[in-house]
Amino acid sequence: MTEIATRPAAPAGHRGALAGIRVVELGFAAAGPLVGKYLANFGAEVIRLESRLAADVFRTTYPPFKDGIVEPDRAGMFAFYNDGKRSATLNLKHPKGVALARALIGTADVFVESFTPGTVARLGLGAETLRAADPGLIVLSSCNQGQTGPHAFHPGYGSQLSALAGFVQLLGEPDSTPVLLYGPYIDYVAVGYGAIAVLAALERRKRTGVGCTIDLSQYEAGLQFLTPTILEFAANGRIPGRLGNADLVAAPHGVYRCAGRDRWVALSVWSDAEWRDLRALMDIDGPATAAERRRARVALDERIGAWTATRDRDLVVTLLRRKGIRAAPVLSISELFDDAQLAHRGMWPAVTHPTIGEMHLMAPPFRLSSTPSVQDRPGPTVGADNDHVFGEILGLSLDERSTLQRDGVFE
Amino acid sequence: MCGRILADLGADVIKVEPPGGEADRLRPPFIGDVENRERSIPWLAANVNKRGVTCDLTSSDGPALFARLAATARIVVESFPAGRLAELGLQDLFRDAIVVSITPYGQDGPLARVPGSDLEVTAASGSLWLAGEEGRPPVRTSQPQSPYWSGMYGALGALIALQSRVAQRVDVSAQAAMTTVHPPAPVWWDIARDEHARTGPFLLGRSNVGSRFRNLWACADGFVSFAIQGGPIGRHTGRMLAEWMAERGRVPAVIAAIDWDRFDNTRLSQDQVDELEAAIAPFLLSLTKAEFFDGVVKRKMLGYPVGDASDSLADPQLSARDFWRQISPAEGLPPLPFPGGFALFDGKRPEVRRPAPRVGEHNGEIYAEVGVGPLELGRLREAGVV
């Protein structure tokens, strides 16, 4: 593996853009917790409250686990999705657990939760209750379909919600069955919008002193990315569907097989001049105008594919880029860790996890020049920061803590 | 899209275009299939809620005019190729602002000057690798996604930078943006050295023994998203499925034999998974999307129909939450349903409150706000600067 470049060194005295902001988080899997990850990467103190009695599915269920051993502190997913955070354990079925959670949230600027609607309210940690005590608090509730409405309580997860919202319908060959977006795609859309919503509320609080209760439906967030398909249907009565790799403008525009096993190149032609260069390079025929080329797509794709099929992928990319034609290798996941451009941006910061060992985190895809992100800690082990949270922040003595421990409050 | 999100949040976002309008105004499809600068659907989607001016940054008076506008801005968003801002001599104008720069690969590094469109950055991000049928070419989402991801991360970066109170650059790479959309695939490689790849309708990463689960199924009038799942809700889903099958006729023996209280999908061999899925397929094929949706909602099962634009507009959940906003996206066009604001803030949804600007629509009003009087504006107009 190539040396992973570090992100720009933080300037002396750099505390992160969000230093001084405390976030308390209750949630599971990706959609809620990744909001906290981004805030932590830029210096917020993010405290994940969790319980051994009802652990995050990323700790208990979703592989991969280090060496295949299913234990909460060997869970790769949790370590990857929760970097930079602290972990404190609280049993929220115990009244003293709830009181401590409330006290901790009372010291925080932001509370993020991603349970089924109504869950935190039943625990006594609903936004109304919390903000009655602390009007400046910002509460983000992120869930599948929002806090209200006939489907609010319907369970769901990102991969399937991506299908409902219409992303899946747009992926695949025309007139063939759709294929999956690999992961819980829509969750990550909601993560970005969730973090944006929290930051917008923090900005408003600076001016007004008033907090905010944010109801984020992952479904509604995802639909923002599909606005043109909605407008196209409403305006023109057509339901946008799968186009394979065709484009409404560029032609040729596709993914072509190269020499070797499962090696592919992506390329697109956006002007007649680029097309002339491509024709000359590959020594192939085809019409001069884009409209004609779009109609001749199948034949052109075959001719280009025949040329690329016997050539090395990276060589093809180099030849095309030398001509100024847009082209890129279809990188596999393992290749992403070796990609020079991503490495230059420090996309995969290396850290050592106490149980998992050497592993890589994911950097934010935007770099801030003066207050860069810092990623030096993987997701915490269960309860790693109990002393800090209950001792230093909440001021409980050792005696008090051991009594609570005995009573099962920290389970 | 970055500006659109900031505008949705209430910021006064001014779009600066060259005289005659930016090239993206001619990106298809068009409203009513009429190709002109006021009707491009993707352009309108990204530019409602903004005001607009024109300014020729390559003309001799352009940079100075732009400087007066930029001096009033806290955030400047630009998507020129890396280095172009400096070539235009504009970089020094923004010393006091947060400058969000969105490019295919980022401001520096080996690919900084390499051009790329949605297809190439998606290819270079691993996202393309993970979508498509085995043995067939990888495929991209037919509604280009990287502009949305890049714009969203640009807005997020801008708002984080705003908290720092320090003027700085926010350098967004579309390649990096698209790399964030496919975990857990990188975790599987990093922790388990397992290279995930595209598997068509099957979902990877739910098994401890390498089995894969079908997640897209044909139904009577389209497709549905459903999977054999573990965990409390997954087991409930399986139990409900068996009951639902019984209501509609017959439960296949392999399904009836399952003790759902002990069911653990992560340990099933591929043969066992295949056998269960073969027993489920005919049942799902007998249902319409609407029947499936009603059934899973009623039984609180995991699963959804594969929706499209028409399904979204008819969805009762979205109507109940007053999601859609009917507005005319540009003057003279009929009202169309826009997705409303992306979240409710104290119960209120950010509004789609103004149509996208016509080319140079707000030249008079905006340049007056920064002290350019009508005479000077007339002179600039004659010189072709605006």
Could you tell me if B220 and B245 lie in one domain? yes
Q: Using alpha carbons, list the distances in angstroms from residue A295 to A248, A250, A290, B82.
A: 11, 12, 9, 34
Domain final residue pick, B274, B306, B338: B306
> Does some domain include residue B196?
no
Stronger pLDDT, A220 or B92, i.e. the higher one: A220
Whether residue A2 is predicted with pLDDT greater than 70 in this model: the reply is no
Is residue A10's pLDDT more than 70?
no
Residues of A within 8 A of B306 (CB-CB) are 163-164, 168-169, 178
Please provide residue A232's backbone torsions phi and psi, each rounded to the nearest 5 degrees.
-60, -45
A165 CB neighbours in chain B (<8 A) are 307, 312
Residue-wise over B142-168: b if at least 16 C-beta within 10 A, else e?
A: bbbbbbbbbbbbbbbbbbbbbbbeeeb
A272 among known catalytic residues: no
Domain boundary among B272, B306, B340: B306
With beta carbons under 8 A apart, name residues in chain B contacting A238. Answer: 29
Q: At residue B107, does pLDDT exceed 80?
A: yes
Q: Cβ of B306 and A163 within 8 Å?
A: yes
* Whether A223 and B223 lie within 8 Å, measured CB to CB: no
What CATH fold (topology level) applies to the domain A253-336?
Answer: formyl-coa transferase, domain 3 (3.30.1540)
Q: 3-state DSSP call for residue B173?
A: strand
What is the distance between the alpha carbons of residues A126 and A148, in angstroms, rounded to a whole number? 14
Q: Which residues of B touch A264 (CB under 8 A)?
A: 123, 128, 137-138
Structure tokens at B120: 């190439």
User: How much of chain A exceeds pLDDT 70, in percent?
Assistant: 97
Share of chain B above pLDDT 90, in %: 90
The token duo for A353 is 């996890």
CB of B284 less than 8 A from some CB of A:
no
Provide the pLDDT for residue A14.
Answer: 62
Q: What is d(CA A362, CA A1) in angstroms, rounded to the nearest whole number?
A: 16
| Cross-chain Cβ contact A344/B110 below 8 Å | yes
Q: How far apart are the first and last CA of chain A?
A: 40
Total-model pTM: 0.96
What's the whole-number mean pLDDT along residues B180-186? 96
Residue B154 and residue B297 in one domain: no
Cβ–Cβ under 8 Å, residues A224 and A151? no
| B144 domain residue, yes or no | yes
Task: Give B369: exposed, middle or buried? Use CB within 10 Å, 0-12, 13-18, 19+.
Answer: middle
Integer CA distances (angstroms), B243 to A81, B246, B255, in order: 37, 5, 10
Mean pLDDT of B143-171: 97
Both tokens of residue A359? 């592993």
- Whether B6 and B146 map to the same domain: the answer is yes
B128 in reach of chain A (CB within 8 A): yes
* A17 contacts on B by Cβ (under 8 Å): 160-161, 163-164, 166
**3 state SS of A17:** coil
Cβ atoms of residues A184 and A30 within 8 Å: yes
Residue type, B171: D
- CB of B192 within 8 Å of any CB in chain A? yes
Cβ separation A195–B156 shorter than 8 A:
yes
Mean per-residue pLDDT, B204-221: 89
Query: Could you tell me if B60 and B179 lie in one domain?
Result: yes
Q: A312: pLDDT confidence band, cut at 50, 70 and 90?
A: very high
Q: Do the chains contact at A154 and B310, CB–CB below 8 Å?
A: no
pLDDT band at residue A5, thresholds of 50, 70 and 90? very low
Return d(Cα B309, Cα B319) in angstroms, integer.
14
Instruction: Name the residue with tokens 């009577």.
Output: B220
**Chain centroid to CA A309:** 35
How many domains are contained in chain B?
2
pLDDT of residue A112: 98
The total of other beta-carbon atoms located within 10 Å of residue B17's CB is: 20
If asked whether residues B73 and B179 sit together in one domain, one would say yes
Q: Any idea what the CATH number is for the domain that residue B32 is in?
A: 3.40.50.10540
Q: Has residue B52 been placed in a domain?
A: yes
How close, in Å, is residue A399 to chain B by CA atoms?
37
Q: Say whether both B272 and B344 belong to one domain.
A: no
For the cut 90, the answer to whether the pLDDT of residue B79 exceeds it is yes
Which residue in chain B has the smallest CA separation from A224? B339
Asked whether the beta carbons of residue B206 and residue A326 sit closer than 8 angstroms, the reply is: no
The structural domains of chain A, with segments of one domain joined by +, span 22-226+345-406, 253-336
Amino acid at B373: G
Model confidence at B205, pLDDT cuts 50, 70, 90, reads confident
Considering the domain architecture, whether residues B143 and B8 belong to the same structural domain is answered as: yes
Q: Is the ipTM of this complex over 0.90?
A: yes
| In a domain? residue B195 | no
pLDDT digits (tens, 9 = 90+) for B108-152: 999 999 999 999 999 999 999 999 999 999 999 999 999 999 999
Together in a domain, B70 and B150: yes
CA distance B136 to chain A (A): 9
Model pLDDT for residues A383-401, shown as the tens digit of each residue: 999 999 999 999 999 999 9
In which domain, by residue range, is B150 found? 2-183+316-382
pLDDT at A11 over 70: no
Q: How close B151 comes to chain A (CA, Å)? A: 10
Which residue, B276, B306, B336, sits at the end of a domain?
B306
CA distance A170 to B118: 15
Helices within chain B (DSSP H only): 2-8, 41-47, 62-70, 84-87, 118-123, 146-164, 174-179, 185-192, 231-247, 253-256, 270-285, 289-299, 309-314, 316-320, 363-369, 374-382
B256 and B367: one domain? no
H-type helices in A42-166, by residue range?
Answer: 57-60, 76-81, 95-106, 119-122, 127-133, 158-165
CATH code (residue B221) = 3.30.1540
Same domain, B221 and B89: no
Chain A interface includes B161 (CB < 8 A): yes
Is position B232 within any domain? yes
Instruction: Give the domain A22-226+345-406 fold.
Output: Rossmann fold (3.40.50)
Per-residue pLDDT averaged across A312-316, rounded?
A: 98
Same domain, B107 and B221: no
Q: Which residues contact A39 (CB under 8 A, 6 or more apart)?
A: A18, A21, A23, A46, A110, A195, A198
Q: Which of A156, A228, A366 sits opposite B170 (nearest CB)?
A: A366
Q: Which residues pair with A327 in a beta bridge?
A: A267
Which of A114, A153, A239, A330 best tests the B interface by mutation, with the highest count of B CBs <10 A?
A: A330
CB contact under 8 A, A231 and B303: no
Q: What is the pLDDT of residue B210?
A: 85
Q: Structure tokens of A285?
A: 């025929």
Band of pLDDT at residue A7, cut at 50, 70 and 90:
very low
Report the percentage of chain A scoring pLDDT > 90: 92
Residue of B nearest to A183 (CA): B182
pLDDT on residue A50: 97
8 Å CB contact of A68 and B208: yes
To the nearest 10°, the Cα dihedral for A50, A51, A54, A56?
30
**B190 in any annotated domain:** no
Do residue B106 and residue B209 come from a single domain? no
**The total number of residues written for chain A in this structure:** 411
Pairwise CA distance, residues B116 & B128, whole Å = 14
Q: Check residue B207 and give its pLDDT.
A: 80
The secondary structure element, H or E, covering residue A47 is strand A45-50
Q: How many Cβ pairs within 8 Å bridge chains A and B?
A: 501
Cα–Cα dist A301/A305, whole Å: 6
Among residues B283, B242, B281, which one has the least CA distance to residue B260? B242
B219 assigned to some structural domain:
yes
Asked whether the beta carbons of residue B160 and residue A199 sit closer than 8 angstroms, the reply is yes
Chain B residues close to A337, C-beta within 8 Å: 186, 189-190
Q: From the candidates B95, B140, B336, which should be mutated to test the interface with A, based on the most A CB atoms within 10 A?
A: B140
Q: Is the Cβ pair A192, B156 closer than 8 Å?
A: yes
| Mean of pLDDT values over A147-152 | 96
* Confidence class for position A61, pLDDT limits 50, 70, 90: confident
* Closest CA of chain A from B141, distance in Å: 5
Q: pLDDT digit string (tens) for B358-382?
A: 999 999 999 999 999 999 999 999 9
Judged by CB atoms closer than 8 Å, whether chains meet at A327 and B225 is answered as: no
> How many CA atoms, within 13 angstroms, populate the side-chain half-sphere of residue B102?
26
Q: Tell me the average pLDDT of chain A.
A: 95
Tens of pLDDT along A25-59? 999 999 989 999 999 999 999 999 999 999 999 99
B148 contacts in chain A (CB < 8 Å) = 189, 224-225
Residue at token pair 């068509």: B200
Distance from C-alpha of A196 to C-alpha of A140, rounded to nearest angstrom: 11
Is B168 part of the contact surface with chain A (CB cutoff 8 Å)?
yes
For residue range A332-381, what is the model confidence (pLDDT) as tens digits?
999 999 999 999 999 999 999 999 999 999 999 999 999 999 999 999 99
- CA B315: distance to chain centroid? 19
Q: Is residue B188 included in any domain, yes or no? A: no
Q: Which of A56, A187, A301, A385 is catalytic?
A: A187
What pLDDT band is residue A13 in, cutting at 50, 70 and 90? Answer: low
